[in-house]
Structures are given as C-alpha cells and as structure tokens.
Amino acid sequence: MTSALDIVILAAGKGTRMRSDLPKVLHPLAGRPLVSHVIRAAREIEASRICVVYGFGGDAVPGALADDKLTFVLQAEQLGTGHAVQQALPHLHKSGVTLVLFGDVPLIRPDTLKPLVAAAQAGKLGLLTVVLQDATGYGRIVREHGKVVKIVEHKDATEAEREIREVNTGVLAVPTAKLAAWLGRLGNHNAQGEYYLTDIVAMAVADGVEVLASHPGDAWEVLGVNSKAQLAELERIHQRNIARELLDGGVTLIDPARIDVRGELNCGRDVSIDVGCVFEGSVALGDKVTIGPHCVLKDVRVAAGTRIEAFSHLAGADIGEDARIGPFSRLRPGAVLAREVHVGNFVEVKNSVVKAGAKMNHLAYIGDAEVGAKSNIGAGTITCNYDGANKHKTVIGDNAFIGSNAALVAPVSIGDNATIGAGSVIVKDAPAGELSLSRAKQLTVPGWQRPTKK
Ligand code: UD1
Ligand code: CA
C-alpha cells in the first residue's frame, strides 16, 4: 500500500537578480507563470495535496494562480528553504510522503519525479541530483564510499568540496513524519544565516535512513531561473522541445528555431507552418492547413485545407475548411467563418458569422454582422456597428454585392441578391434583388479652370 503524497512547491523567493517588481515565479515561460509549469508537472503525478509556499509580492502569487485545488501557505519572511517547507508542515498528511519542488525550476518532467516518490514510499530519502560542467552556486553532493552523506551549499563549501560537480537540484522526497522531525532540528549557523532544507540529508544519514540519488533524463529539466538571461535560455529550450514534438507528429516547420507556442497547439496531418509564427492559448489546425510567415494565432480553430497567409493576426476565431485568410488579415473574437470564405489584406472581422464562399478581399471592417453565402464585400466597406453608446447588427443576405466604400449603418439589413452602389451610405434596409444606392449625383462643371500659381 502506498501512503498519501503531498507536494510542496517553494515559491516565496523574491528573485533579486530578475530586477523586477513581479515575483520571480510569476515571470512567464511560454506564456504561463514559471510556477504554473511546476504545478502542471505536480498534477500529473496525482498528489493528494499541492501546497504552494509564497511570500515575496504578497498576494500576487495566489492571485495569479487562483485555484481552489491548491493550498497556499504564506512564508512571511524568507528564512531559507528548510523554513519554507516548515510553513507547509501543518497542511501535510503526517503518515504520508512529501515531495519538494522549486517554483523556479519549470521544465521538470513527471517521469523524473516518480523514482523519488517511490524512494520515499519505501521509507528512504529520494534526492534528485545532476552532474554539471560548472557547478558554481549549487549545493554539492558529498559522497563517502559512493554513498551520499550530506549536501554543502556553495557558500559553505571548502575548496575541495567545490571541486565536486554532482549538485543538488533542490528536488527531494521523504516520509513526512521524518521530514517534520528533521526540520524541527534545523539551525541557521551557516554562511547565509538560513535554515537550509539541504541539511536534512546529513540528518537522514545519521538516523540510518538511506539516501537514494536519482537523476533527470535531461539536465535542462533541473535548470533554475535566477535571471532574465536564464529565463530566455529556458524559453528557447522549452520551445525547441515543443518544435521537436510537432516535427515528430508530422508537422512541417520551415525553421523549428523560429516558432513560439505559448499554450496548446494541436495539428492534423500535413500541416505546414512558416517562420516567425506565435501560437497562444488553444489553437487547433486541421489537416493540410498552411500558415504563412509571421502570423499570430490565439484561441483559434482552423479547419482542413485552409491557408493563412503572411502577417495575419487571428484571435478567438473559428475558420472553416478551404478558406483563404490574409495576407494582413485580422480576425477578432467571435469571427466565425464558414468554408471557402476569403478574407484579404487589411480586413478586420469581429463577432460576425460569415457564410460559405463569401469574399471580402480588401480593406473592410465587418463587426457584429452576418454575411450571407457567396456575398461579395467590396473594398473599403464598413459596417458602422457603433453609435457611440451601443452596438448594432448588420445582416447581409446570400449572394449580395456590396460596392466599394459602402458604409452600412447598423442596425440595417441587405437582402439576398441585393446590390449596393459604390460609395453609398446605407441607413435603411436594402431590399432583396434590387440595386440600392445613396450618393450625390455626379456633375460636370463646363469650362472650369484649375487655379494656377501666382
Ligand atoms: C537551492 C539549494 C541548493 C541547490 C539549488 C538548486 C538550499 C539551501 N539550497 O539553492 O542546494 O543546488 O537550490 O537550484 O535549499 N525559497 C522559498 N523561501 C525561502 C528561500 C527560498 O520559498 O526562504 C524558494 C525560492 O523561491 C526558490 C527555491 O526556494 O524557488 C530555491 O531558493 P534559492 O534561494 O534560489 O536557493 P539556492 O540558493 O539556489
Ligand atoms: Ca535558485
């Protein structure tokens, strides 16, 4: 029988070297706070409780994570990692095991955590260590006859100990009752005057508890963020990993180093993505979708066979099959486009349903509207949806033809097969099948002379 697993995520530190007012663990990696990545990994190993220890920045951390399944524990003063875990103790199951994670080590994978939890379940102390070329700053793993006997922090280490390249990642798992006893005995007589969590390793050894060191599959999993440079480095590693997964799934990436996924990107077969694209939130691309260079897609669904051309910005839109969007198109939330719709350059569509085969190829604003199937929206057409106080709807029927530069003043409707003359300001409903226009009559002034320079 396995005992209850609780996870404690340490996230109280200020992160001085970030040089920012935002608590370190809230800085975004791939569009989400650092600590959210750690929480996601924690969730995948089914803990009975996940405690987040916060401190610097006050309620900013709980506020940003707002989640009733997390237990937030305040560490009012940051007196060290051991002190931080101690704050969480009252919330932990006494007969269970505890896994400690760092909120600023975002790329940790659940599979790496499992052996540690298993060690703790077996009554041992599971410790995640890694061998680094440059171990500067890290706690060093001191071994005797091959067995881990203690951890010394860099600042407390002797010259000889500083030669050790096996370092503490900060991640460990241990039976909670033992953890509680050891934490109660921690002192702060060290170079930093802090209560070090790492001191429990020597206590475990003294108590005859075996320390089992395991290692991450990849060293990048345990890299921490202490500065903007490290944050940028981890972002690149994370994006490289995502690009690799997309390639493995059969997606064509013109350059895997030039894609950014800040959320979930799901792709069908034979999807191709050109350089410089950013995907945010939840994006789904159907079979044979192609995305041109430098597009931004946020919370968008694109159905099979559709082409998104260069420099398009799409957010909260739903695009049907075999549509053609861009270059330079903007789709805003509530834009629902049916199959074979064409939206061209400098066209903005917001909160509108556009039916199959409708075209709006140049310079238009379609907002709070319905556009019927196969209708043609001329260049410069504007749905005047806003009267300064309220929004109103424009309804355009099927197979309508809206001449260039028409202003459709909502609420207004244009019937099926209606034609609107270019340059018209339409304030009354235009009947089906007829030509409607409102425009000053053209006149010619005979003999008129252009002024000349005096
Ligand atoms: C810690 C480890 C070190 C390890 C390194 C790995 C200790 C004493 N040292 O050192 O062995 O090699 O991580 O990156 O544990 N935190 C709190 N409250 C505090 C202090 C820290 O919540 O009072 C949090 C921080 O927000 C951070 C984590 O604990 O998420 C680690 O703290 P940090 O000060 O970065 O520890 P290091 O000196 O890097
Ligand atoms: Ca650190």
Task: Tell which residue, 252, 255, 256, has the closest CA to residue 271.
Answer: 252
Kindly report, residue by residue over 274-302, the tens digit of the pLDDT: 999 999 999 999 999 999 999 999 999 99
How many whole angstroms separate alpha carbon 433 and alpha carbon 406?
Answer: 17
- Ligand 1 atom closest to the CA of 199, numbered from 1: 8
Give the residue-averaged pLDDT of 321-345.
Answer: 98
Give the residue-averaged pLDDT of 398-405.
Answer: 98
Ligand nearest to the CA of 168: 1
Ligand nearest to the CA of 170: 1
Rounded to whole angstroms, what are the CA distances from 72 to 5, 24, 38, 113, 322? 17, 17, 15, 22, 48
pTM, two decimals, is 0.93
Per-residue pLDDT at 1: 58
Kindly report, residue by residue over 64-73, the tens digit of the pLDDT: 998 879 999 9
Amino acid at 289: V
How many whole angstroms separate alpha carbon 401 and alpha carbon 129?
Answer: 69
Ligand nearest to the CA of 85: 1
How many whole angstroms separate alpha carbon 326 and alpha carbon 308?
Answer: 6
- Ligand 1 atom closest to the CA of 54, numbered from 1: 22
Cα-to-centroid distance, 38 and ligand 1 (Å):
15
DSSP track, 171-238: EEEEEHHHHHHHHHT----STT----GGGHHHHHHHTTPPEEEE--SSGGGG----SHHHHHHHHHHH
> Do the Cβ atoms of 262 and 278 come closer than 8 Å?
yes
Query: Using CA positions, which residue lies closest to atom 29 of ligand 1?
Result: 10
Cα-to-centroid distance, 15 and ligand 2 (Å):
8
Give the residue-averaged pLDDT of 421-444.
Answer: 96
CATH 3.90.550.10 fits 5-222, yes or no: yes
User: Which residue is associated with the tokens 């001329």?
Assistant: 378
Per-residue pLDDT at 37: 97
- Ligand 1 atom closest to the CA of 55, numbered from 1: 22
81's enclosing H/E stretch is helix 81-88
What percentage of residues in the chain have a pLDDT greater than 70? 100
Query: Using CA positions, which residue lies closest to atom 21 of ligand 1?
Result: 81
- Ligand 1 atom closest to the CA of 153, numbered from 1: 11
User: Which residue is associated with the tokens 């159907």?
Assistant: 286
Cα-to-centroid distance, 156 and ligand 2 (Å):
16
Give the residue-averaged pLDDT of 165-194.
Answer: 97
**Residue 98 — very low, low, confident or very high, per pLDDT cuts 50/70/90?**
very high
Kindly report, residue by residue over 204-261, the tens digit of the pLDDT: 999 999 999 999 999 999 999 999 999 999 999 999 999 999 999 999 999 999 999 9
> Do the Cβ atoms of 302 and 320 come closer than 8 Å?
no
How many whole angstroms separate alpha carbon 279 and alpha carbon 313?
Answer: 10
What are the residues whose beta carbons fall under 8 Å from the beta carbon of 252, sequence distance 6 or more?
Answer: 270, 271, 272, 273
Query: Using CA positions, which residue lies closest to atom 3 of ligand 1?
Result: 139
Cα-to-centroid distance, 200 and ligand 1 (Å):
14
Class of domain 245-436: mainly beta
Residues of the chain with CATH 2.160.10.10: 245-436
Query: Using CA positions, which residue lies closest to atom 34 of ligand 1?
Result: 13
Cα-to-centroid distance, 240 and ligand 1 (Å):
27
Cα-to-centroid distance, 399 and ligand 1 (Å):
66
Q: What is the mean pLDDT of the chain?
A: 97
Would you call 336 helix, strand, or coil by DSSP?
A: strand
Residues β-bridged to residue 143: 148
Q: Which of the listed residues 51, 81, 195, 226 should we mutate to test ligand 1's pocket, taking the one with most ligand atoms within 8 A of CB?
A: 81
Rg of the chain taking only CA atoms, in angstroms: 31
Main-chain dihedrals φ then ψ at residue 119, nearest 5 degrees: -60, -45
Give the residue-averaged pLDDT of 387-410.
Answer: 97
- Ligand 1 atom closest to the CA of 12, numbered from 1: 22
Task: Tell which residue, 282, 238, 276, has the closest CA to residue 259.
Answer: 276
Structure tokens at 109: 């994978």
Ligand 1 environment, Cβ below 6 A:
10-13, 53, 75, 78-81, 83-84, 102-104, 138-139, 151, 153, 167-170, 196-198, 224
Residues with a catalytic annotation lie at: 362
Task: Tell which residue, 324, 313, 388, has the closest CA to residue 354.
Answer: 324
Per-residue pLDDT at 2: 78
How many whole angstroms separate alpha carbon 324 and alpha carbon 338?
Answer: 11
DSSP track, 84-150: HHHHHGGGS-TTSEEEEEETT-TT--HHHHHHHHHHHHTTSEEEEEEE-S--TTSPEEEEETTEEEE
> Do the Cβ atoms of 386 and 350 come closer than 8 Å?
no
What are the residues whose beta carbons fall under 8 Å from the beta carbon of 11, sequence distance 6 or more?
Answer: 23, 25, 35, 52, 53, 54, 61, 102, 103, 104
Residues of the chain with CATH 3.90.550.10: 5-222
